[in-house]
Amino acid sequence: MYPVEKREESTTKRPFRTPRSRLIFLVAIFGASLWHIGPPSRGFVPWIDNLSSPHPLGRSVQENAHLQWTPCPDNSTFYCSFFAVPLDYATPSSEDKTVIAMRMYPATVSGSERLGSIFTNPGGPGGSGHSGLLRTGPLLSNIFEGKFDIVSWDPRGVNMTTPRISCHPTNFHRELYALSHDSGDLDFNGADIATLNKSLLTTSARAKLLTEMCRDAVGDTLLRSVTTVNVARDLEEMRKAVGGGGLHYWGFSYGTTLGATYVAMFPEHSDKVVLDGVVYAPEQYTSLVDHGLSAGKSTNGVFDGFVSNCVSAGPERCALMKGTDTTAAELSARIWGLASRLAITPLPVPRPTAGMPTILHRGHLLGALFSALYRPASWAALAEAIARTEDGEGAALAELSGAGGAHWAEHARNITDAERAEEAGWGPGREMGASEGGMAVSCGDAPPFDVDGDLAVWTGAWLGWRDQLAALNPLGGPNWFSSVVRCRHWGSVLPSPPRYEGSWELGGDSRKPKNPVVFVSNSYDPITPIASGRRMVETFGKENARLLHNNGYGHCSTNHPSVCVAKALKAYMINGTLFEEGTVCEPDEGIMFPPKDSEGGMHAVGYSDEDRELAHTLRLLADAGIGIVPPGLGRTGFLSSHSAVPRIMLHPLLIAHV
Ligand SMILES: *[C@@H]1O[C@H](CO)[C@@H](O)[C@H](O)[C@H]1NC(C)=O
Ligand SMILES: *[C@@H]1O[C@H](CO)[C@@H](O)[C@H](O)[C@H]1NC(C)=O
Ligand SMILES: *[C@@H]1O[C@H](CO)[C@@H](O)[C@H](O)[C@H]1NC(C)=O
Ligand SMILES: *[C@@H]1O[C@H](CO)[C@@H](O)[C@H](O)[C@H]1NC(C)=O
Ligand SMILES: *[C@@H]1O[C@H](CO)[C@@H](O)[C@H](O)[C@H]1NC(C)=O
Ligand SMILES: *[C@@H]1O[C@H](CO)[C@@H](O)[C@H](O)[C@H]1NC(C)=O
């Protein structure tokens, strides 16, 4: 049915073992490491060398044997460390290292009450754990009564971890490159075959271009090194270095692929693992198309939720309601009608709030809609932007969709990554190549495509995939398809990246996690449907996994917070107590279309003081946005190929412009 996705021999090897660590608070010291570590060699960690010292990055590359936490330069409430691992686990003794930037928010209880460390990954792929933890560390810590150190890291290729993947010389170049596609008005939303074919051929050519640019910029060795199987090995090395026994982990979105891969590879070291916003992980490694079909199963349900909740919120709270008698069906038809009109007559935006003056077309509306489905808390703003667009005023939608390039003034400064790092030091506003790092993970995890073959044959087959994805999921499917196209030429990265191809079955004596893995799914999630959570439980087996069902909308439980979910996770992490099978939690009130006068829409009526405090923490966590790019990082790193998916770190593919 599909053109053959070439399968190759895996280069996967079992990971290396280092001696167990013993932990001293903040300074973990353990036995000799297996591989030679030194400061990263010149040229290998390009911009570290060029920073004037003393600089935090200059000093702190540590031997694995001495994971040393020091107060982070940007905020001394957190501790930071650098940790070297082999760039290629097949040749661990090589001098080529990846130096992982780690960050930790320490437990707030006394040493005797401290229970260990919880690792967290914010999603992506390509998401920065550094940046995520800076925003969410104290909140995650609160949920678990301050009893754990909360630890995160920039995965291979990303942000402060070196060598980093960045395929454009400056952000300015990256932004121009994105705009040049954005203004092309090509997308995969329509049904006209000639236009779709033209979009496919152009997008494929751009994919080839970007793949070559990346190979020229950082080389195949680095590009192939960042796949999830290696990130899971890194996590295992970090777990050992941090000490304290088996893995405690809370992963979101793509972080569930990583977590599930970790559990499959190292079940015996898996202790308390929470996977929230669940990807059906095996498909990440077998087929981008099947993966997309699975991922889009409940996107329509979230859209319906947006529309029906707007109707019940009424004109006071939802700007799309022009009278009280509008029905959900009418509202839905109006939104799709607006999309059709924009496809024919794009809307000029002469006075944008963020980017360049630009025109809005259908792709921008659909992209803004799709990304807003991740966060019920953003629905009121989305409704407002759509209502204004109906009235011919597109600035709000341009900002939501990233049309015209958000934060242009910052990106337009033509400075290199190294200069930017030197100027800014640590702290907000640094973003370097995140989308390309994520692309290298997604494309490298999947089997390479066969790019030979007759034009009519391959275009026909690929457009067949588009049709399948779009038929199932008109909002997200076309977008996903463009991400598949983005990977079309990744097979030229050689040798083929290592991929997890081992078993997903658990349960034999040596393949048993210490505690069942907890999967958390919302009733309607635009990119990680609850069906994937159920399949993962089936795959790992009921004795090794359990599903916690949050009866809400959006991506990951944190975007539709629930005190019930948080209490279940807290009991699991702190006491090892597992919730009943079949537990369904209700989310807290006040996230969707809150009344205008309510401060953040918090309703915790009937909650105990303790629960009210927890609800407050969860609300702040939703605002901080797990898996969401912080404001100010907007579009550049996280734009889908037909534009319009800013701000959100889309799991798992939809993060780069081709
Ligand atoms: C670092 O500095 C050297 C010498 O000034 C220069 O040749 C090199 O291109 C710089 N590297 C980066 C990544 O800026
Ligand atoms: C450092 O982080 C803590 C915890 O998030 C926060 O309360 C504090 O305001 C931050 N300090 C600075 C200087 O940003
Ligand atoms: C921007 O930077 C690039 C590469 O560093 C350089 O080639 C180009 O001339 C610069 N452009 C401007 C307008 O300064
Ligand atoms: C990279 O890390 C720094 C330091 O923690 C953070 O401020 C910045 O936001 C991160 N960049 C991205 C793109 O996440
Ligand atoms: C796409 O366009 C190319 C070039 O005109 C053509 O050869 C090919 O048959 C078309 N494919 C489809 C599926 O229409
Ligand atoms: C853990 O168990 C203890 C003792 O049964 C209990 O007092 C405490 O409330 C439990 N904590 C959580 C978070 O469930």
What 8-state DSSP symbol labels residue 416?
B
Is residue 646 over pLDDT 90? no
Q: Is 610 in the pocket of ligand 6 (CB under 6 A)?
A: no
- What share of the chain has pLDDT > 90, as a percent? 64
10 in Cβ contact with 285 (< 8 Å): no
Q: Which atom of ligand 4 is nearest to the CA of 103?
A: 5
Closest CA to 656 of 459, 441, 463: 441
**Which own/partner contact pairs does 396-400 have at CB distance under 8 Å and 24+ positions apart?**
396/353, 397/360, 397/364, 397/365, 397/368, 398/349, 398/352, 398/353, 398/354, 398/355, 398/358, 398/360, 398/364, 399/352, 399/353, 399/354, 399/355, 400/368, 400/371, 400/372, 400/646, 400/647
Which ligand has the nearest atom to the CA of 137? 2
Dist. CA 48 → ligand 1 center (Å): 10
Which one is predicted more confidently, 617 or 636? 617
Gap between the Cα atoms of 168 and 432, Å rounded: 9
Q: Is 75 in the pocket of ligand 2 (CB under 6 A)?
A: yes
Residue among 81, 104, 160, 174 whose CB has most ligand 4 atoms within 8 A, to mutate: 160
Gap between the Cα atoms of 121 and 124, Å rounded: 9
Query: By alpha-carbon position, which residue is closest to atom 13 of ligand 2?
Result: 75
Is residue 639 over pLDDT 50? no
Is residue 632 over pLDDT 50? no
Is residue 260 over pLDDT 60? yes
Dist. CA 114 → ligand 6 center (Å): 15
Q: Give the CA angle between residues 626, 629, 633 to the nearest 5°.
A: 160
Q: What is the mean pLDDT of residues 399-417?
A: 72
Which ligand has the nearest atom to the CA of 610? 6
What's the pLDDT at 624?
Answer: 86
Closest CA to 338 of 366, 301, 371: 366
Is residue 2 over pLDDT 50? no
Dist. CA 177 → ligand 5 center (Å): 26
- What share of the chain has pLDDT > 70, as a percent? 79
Dist. CA 417 → ligand 3 center (Å): 13
For residue 176, name the pLDDT band (cuts at 50, 70, 90).
Answer: confident
What's the pLDDT at 591?
Answer: 93
Dist. CA 544 → ligand 6 center (Å): 23
Which ligand has the nearest atom to the CA of 44? 1
Q: Which amino acid is at 218?
A: V
Gap between the Cα atoms of 599 and 180, Å rounded: 41
pTM above 0.75, yes or no: yes
What's the pLDDT tens digit per position in 474-487?
999 998 999 999 99
Q: Is 356 in the pocket of ligand 5 (CB under 6 A)?
A: no
